């Protein structure tokens, strides 16, 4: 019998490219049919066929307090009674800016928008306007949204200008983007020695979540900070995923590195679309209406989305919130490693706060090249076995996972039981 899920996917493919509204939702990498959901509560999801799952995607991070948290829902319902949007200033926007500045003091001034892509695109434009330079640097495997200049892969040599990694991106745009290997301090030093004074900014995921979880080397981040300072390049931390998730003050507080600019999303919307970028006041003063760099958004700082984010940020300031989240995530990671070892499967895992990575490899990778050496076929088999057992992981070997404060010891135990079964079948 055809499931409702299969029917919806078949119908969606007729009207929506690939049947999904974001490629990351597709199951092209692992095979099979994407799951269509209708309800979430706490750590659990229910699909359109009524099947229940323990959720380790958490809307790719923002559901840090769990799905449909009663205080978040109540706050959103109350705000909605006052209208869904004004397209004009509200006190909520100021409240959000004040809270972001309190938790991340490096963000001396903040501008809200509606997505992480908008935030990174706008931060880079602002950095270019501030420095008067065109070149930007990113790192292989890091994803910063789908704006043209960031959909660029590495060239064949250190200083080879980037090549478009997507159709529709002009080569002339990609030519301004230089791509380096993550965690490679020497490559950074070599690049800055040759073109450092031409670089407007360096954008980086301080903890990578978009090629699976990659943990930065402290020396790499320190080298990056020193080089940007020496050459007058703007250092942008893309904390769309890590902001308020790996630490209350973000990855910049965890690793004690102060960026010039920061981009945010995910958690600050509590599950609704919100983004933000900010940083040093002298840089942010380049923005219109006070400066020459134009950026705008009719729905920026939407009152309903900001309300959800404010309530979420209030909840995660509870005593020991992040230490408990990290401990629960570590319990999952260590349990998975033990289950794999018991069955003789080559496997590794690690976490930073509430983010975790799963790798079918001998060691935890530290770069794009190393992550590509992991056993993708083993992951695909593992993914489907876990999905059949009611555990929902990211449908790709190259995505980080997320634990929420709603995940209980029972959730972890059920997940590990499903994992033992999955590992045994390998």
* Measured distance CA(112)–CA(242) in Å, rounded: 17
Residue tagged active-site, from 53, 56, 143, 368: 143
Following DSSP, what letter does each residue of 81-108 receive, concatenated?
TT-S--SS--HHHHHHHHHHHHH-TT-S
Which of these, 33, 64, 60, lies nearest to 145 by C-alpha position?
A: 60
- Please identify which of the residues 135, 138, 266, 311 carries the catalytic annotation: 266
Catalytic residue check, 266: yes
What does the alpha-carbon distance between residue 97 and residue 359 come to, in Å, rounded to a whole number?
37
Marked catalytic residue, from 47, 55, 238, 411: 238
Pairing of strands 355-359, 163-164: unpaired
Structure tokens at 164: 């478009």
Contact, 268 vs 244, CB < 8 A?
yes
- Residue 53 is a catalytic residue: no
Tell me the C-alpha distance between 314 and 246, whole Å: 16
Told to judge if 56 belongs to the known catalytic residues of this protein, a careful annotator would answer no
Residue 68 CA neighbour count, 13 Å, CB half: 9
Among the listed residues 151, 204, 163, 201, the one whose alpha carbon sits nearest the alpha carbon of residue 181: 204
Residues 6+ apart with CB under 8 A from 215: 207, 350, 352, 364, 366
Q: Torsion angle, CA of 291/293/294/295, rounded to 10 degrees?
A: -100
Residues annotated as catalytic (active site), given as ranges? 143, 238, 266
């Amino acid at each position: 019998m055809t499931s409702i899920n299969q029917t919806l996917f078949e119908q969606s493919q007729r009207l929506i490219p690939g049947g999904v509204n974001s490629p990351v939702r597709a199951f092209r990498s692992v095979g099979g049919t994407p799951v269509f959901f209708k309800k979430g509560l706490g750590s659990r999801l229910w699909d359109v066929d009524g099947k229940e799952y323990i959720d380790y995607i958490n809307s790719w991070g923002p559901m840090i307090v769990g799905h449909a948290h009663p205080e978040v829902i109540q706050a959103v319902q109350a705000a909605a009674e006052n209208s869904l949007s004004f397209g004009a200033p509200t006190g909520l926007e100021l409240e959000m800016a004040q809270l972001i500045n309190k938790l991340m003091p490096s963000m001396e001034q903040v501008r809200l928008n509606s997505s992480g892509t908008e935030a990174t695109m706008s931060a880079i434009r602002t950095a270019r306007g501030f420095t008067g330079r065109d070149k930007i640097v990113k790192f292989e495997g890091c994803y910063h949204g789908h704006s043209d200049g960031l959909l660029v892969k590495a060239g064949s040599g250190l200083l080879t200008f980037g090549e478009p990694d997507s159709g529709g991106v002009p080569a002339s745009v990609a030519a301004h983007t230089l791509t380096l290997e993550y965690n490679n301090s020497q490559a950074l030093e070599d690049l800055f020695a040759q073109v450092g004074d031409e670089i407007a900014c360096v954008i980086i995921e301080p903890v990578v979540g978009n090629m699976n979880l990659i943990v930065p080397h402290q020396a790499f981040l320190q080298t990056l900070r020193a080089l940007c300072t020496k050459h007058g390049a703007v250092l942008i931390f893309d904390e769309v995923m890590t902001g308020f998730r790996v630490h209350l003050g973000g990855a910049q507080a965890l690793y004690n590195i102060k960026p010039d600019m920061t981009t945010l999303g995910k958690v600050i919307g509590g599950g609704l679309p919100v983004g933000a970028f900010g940083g040093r006041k002298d840089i942010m003063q380049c923005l219109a209406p006070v400066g020459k760099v134009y950026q705008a958004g009719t729905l920026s700082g939407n009152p309903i989305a900001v309300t959800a984010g404010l309530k979420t940020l209030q909840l995660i300031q509870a005593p020991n919130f992040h230490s408990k989240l990290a401990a629960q995530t570590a319990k999952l990671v260590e349990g998975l490693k033990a289950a794999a070892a018991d069955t003789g499967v080559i496997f590794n895992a690690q976490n930073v706060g509430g983010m975790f990575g799963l790798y079918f490899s001998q060691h935890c990778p530290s770069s794009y090249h190393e992550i590509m050496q992991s056993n993708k076929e083993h992951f695909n088999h593992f993914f489907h076995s876990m999905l059949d057992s009611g555990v929902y992981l990211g449908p790709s070997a190259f995505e980080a996972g997320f634990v929420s404060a709603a995940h209980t010891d029972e959730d972890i135990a059920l997940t590990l039981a499903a994992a033992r079964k999955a590992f045994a079948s390998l």
